[in-house]
Structure 1
């Protein structure tokens, strides 16, 4: 199986060589104490031509879905509602406790 987009994770830095080619709104979700550095996603966002959001979930590490399931679900539901509503740029407020990076 061949993948069009390849993301490489090195020393906590996300490098997406083809982020500028992505055609769908993208939400990166990181635990607040994740060992991966969310600044890699910030760098990828600079090259993207589609809406991109980076959300940090409190009380979560790399396995944020285990560490803080309620916060993770809140981030997922927020991202899905934003995309499905067609209001990718504005409208919905980030749920309490989540941090936009």
Structure 2
């Protein structure tokens, strides 16, 4: 897996003040880096609104995992993203800044 960070994210992480779009208390409670990556992605891409922001499995896989220089197995990565989403859904009480609702489409 290749993960890269854009310059705005790097500068945000280097900031010396406490203003952030990431709730670090929730972030640190997450058990592994894959779940933290997805949580961080949501923090960057969910806008304050009374409406839900929808993400599809396929778009999450393509946004979060780089294909440069490696074989890309979308099926395996989709299964991993589903497991991560299920974990987040099952532990919503730890994430005080999001309300997750999984939608199962057949």
- Relative to the length of structure 2, the TM-score reads 0.31
The structure number with the bigger radius of gyration is 2
- Relative to the length of structure 1, the TM-score reads 0.32
Give the helix-richer structure, 1 or 2.
2
